[in-house]
Amino acid sequence: MSEKTSSKASAFDRRAFMAGAAGSALMPMTARAATQDATPPAARDPSLPVEVTLRVNGKDKRLRIDARTTVLDALREHLKLTGSKKGCDHGQCGACTVLIDDRRVVSCLTLALAAEGQEITTIEGLATDDRLHPMQQAFIDNDAFQCGYCTPGQIMSAVACVKEGHAGSDADIREYMSGNICRCAAYPNIVAAVKQAAPEIMKG
Amino acid sequence: MRPFLYQKATDPGMAVQALGAAGNNPLTRATAQPLAGGTTLIDLMKLDVMRPAAIVDINPLAQGWSAIEPRDDSLRLGALAKMSDVAAHDGIQRNYPVIANSLKLAASAQLRNMATLGGNVMQRTRCSYFRDVSYENCNKRNPGSGCAAMDGVNRMHAVLGTSDHCIATYPGDFAQALIALDAMLEITGASGTRNMPFAELHKAPGNTPDIETTLRPGELISAFVIRGRWPRSVYLKARDRQSYEFALSSAAIALDVQDGTIRDARIALGGVATVPWRAREAEALLKGQKFDDGLAQRVADAAFAEARGRRHNGFKIALGRRVVARALQQAVTMEI
């Protein structure tokens, strides 16, 4: 048990480092000039980068990106928030699940440009200071992962599943968590984790 | 993914103007595409199946186009309402269970939070030969190139409404509920709005499988309207997995039963046809009758009388008949 705890602590350090690195992704002043561009969007060259401000985990992040960039790639490649995982990149596996305006979505099929002005919450934004979110703790307590690759998506999806009121029974949890695939098949433990965390989350 | 110009439409006029400006048919290959939930469009753009030069983000129209409005004698659903919100709506669950369940049994919770009703009915086929551009011969993608599915692994393909040019299955669930309930579409275009029966939206493949709908360039579905209430209605979906899978065979059934006699019956089939499929001959057998298992069997047989299986999908005919019979049983016995 103590081993498990210490490995989690080191994961925290890595996360803290990642969060720090994200600051450097803020756009330099020169990029702001592009917003002054009076050319209407329809007449612009699609090969030019576009400016977008994403609100991620409560902070505004200014980016200059290719219009094709998804929220997932913006998070991972531009903001260095690599908690959200790229599994299939086609909306089939759920590894990239984040909350947008408190609703779970797959970030790989969401264009960053379309998410402007909305509140994006990733796995990095779930804990409060040093205290894990009840769902994160429940995944540890119930050994609800093996390789861990799908886990950030599972946890984000599970938080929403509870808040939607879909964690009332094992059958409900299985149905409403079916958009998150776990290749290690930790499903029974994931169901147990969701059940454990649900009352605490509903309590607020 | 190929480069595109991204534009947000802040009002319907701007949206139809931006989409209509690129006005080339067919709509499936129009150079400007509307973006709603993006769950089909972005996926197919990543696969290089769809190659729009411009994206018109219509999500800012949601304020006016996403209302869920149950009234005494009708239901109006805004085209930008999210699948999850409609599925969870009390009034829909009570008076239109076929709609609520067709939405609830589709996709995953995440995708239902993203996908809109309008986008849902416009989703493209899941035919693996259509989705993989390494197959040269797909009449839907490359008109005149042939159909790889005909002699390919066509287990998931259609047995109704097929042609010698295309056997791709219409993949959706919600559309079966709409066609069963005689839904009307409200369509917004450059010259205002027009109404059209939902049953006239999709086109069977025939000689032109690349033309999938009757929408004109620049037109957008803005709402769905259903008259009456259908509390005695079910959506039954048979699939390879219990959750998060497209239908092998599904049935949308709505009945009006008075004193044990069936006064009105609606049957639509999913997973087995190239377009949302209404089984009118089968419905006719039910009207004025009292229900029993023999009748259910005759209705199920009639629903698949014209079905034509291929090498790997013949099982869908037997499966589909059972789905219809069981769905009828459920609709007759459900408590309302």
Domains observed in chain A: 2-31+45-125 (3.10.20.30), 134-203 (1.10.150.120)
The pTM of the full predicted model, rounded to 2 decimals, is 0.92
Give the mutation candidate from A37, A44, A47, A68 for the B interface (greatest B CB count, under 10 A): A68
**What residues of chain A lie within 8 A of the CB of B89, using their CB?**
none
Which positions ≥6 away from A99 have C-beta within 8 Å?
A105, A119, A120, A121, A156, A159, A160
Average pLDDT over residues B196-211: 98
In angstroms, what separates the C-alpha of A187 from chain B's closest C-alpha? Answer: 14
Strands A50-56 and B220-227: unpaired
Mean pLDDT score of chain B, rounded to an integer?
Answer: 96
pLDDT tens digits, one per residue of B94-149? 999 999 999 999 999 999 999 999 999 999 999 999 999 999 999 999 999 999 99
What number of residues does chain B have? 336
Per CATH, domain B5-60 is 3.30.43.10: yes
Give the mutation candidate from B58, B110, B120, B242 for the A interface (greatest A CB count, under 10 A): B110
Banded pLDDT at B314 (limits 50, 70, 90): very high
Count Cα neighbours of B45 within 13 Å in the Cβ-side half-sphere. 28
Q: What is the CATH number of domain B63-121+171-227?
A: 3.30.465.10
Alpha carbons B293 and B236: distance in angstroms, whole number: 17
Does residue A148 sit at the B interface (CB-CB below 8 Å)?
A: no
**What residues of chain B lie within 8 A of the CB of A84, using their CB?**
none
The boundaries of every CATH 3.30.390.50 domain in chain B are: 233-333
Residue in B closest to A92 by C-alpha: B108
SS3 of residue A58 by DSSP? coil
The pLDDT assigned to A8 comes to 40
Residue A100: left if φ>0, alpha if ψ -120 to 50, beta else—which one?
beta
The pLDDT assigned to A25 comes to 36
Over 50: is that where the pLDDT of A21 sits?
no
Banded pLDDT at B74 (limits 50, 70, 90): very high
Which helix (H) or strand (E) segment holds residue B295: the answer is: helix B293-303
Does the distance separating the beta carbons of A70 and B43 come in below 8 Å? no
**What residues of chain A lie within 8 A of the CB of B8, using their CB?**
41
Alpha carbons B2 and B53: distance in angstroms, whole number: 8
Does residue A174 sit at the B interface (CB-CB below 8 Å)?
A: yes
pLDDT tens digits, one per residue of A178-196? 999 999 999 999 999 999 9
Does residue A85 sit at the B interface (CB-CB below 8 Å)?
A: no
Q: ipTM score of the complex?
A: 0.96
pLDDT tens digits, one per residue of A49-80? 999 999 999 999 999 999 999 999 999 999 99
In angstroms, what separates the C-alpha of A120 from chain B's closest C-alpha? Answer: 14
CATH class for the domain made up of B233-333? alpha beta
Residue in A closest to B57 by C-alpha: A114
**What residues of chain B lie within 8 A of the CB of A180, using their CB?**
108
Contact A190, A158 (CB under 8 A): yes
Question: Minimal CA–CA distance to A175: which of B129, B177, B245, B272?
Answer: B245
* Percent of chain A whose pLDDT exceeds 90: 76
The boundaries of every CATH 3.30.465.10 domain in chain B are: 63-121+171-227
The boundaries of every CATH 3.30.43.10 domain in chain B are: 5-60
| Three-state DSSP string of B259-283 | CCEEEEEEEEEECCECCCEECHHHH
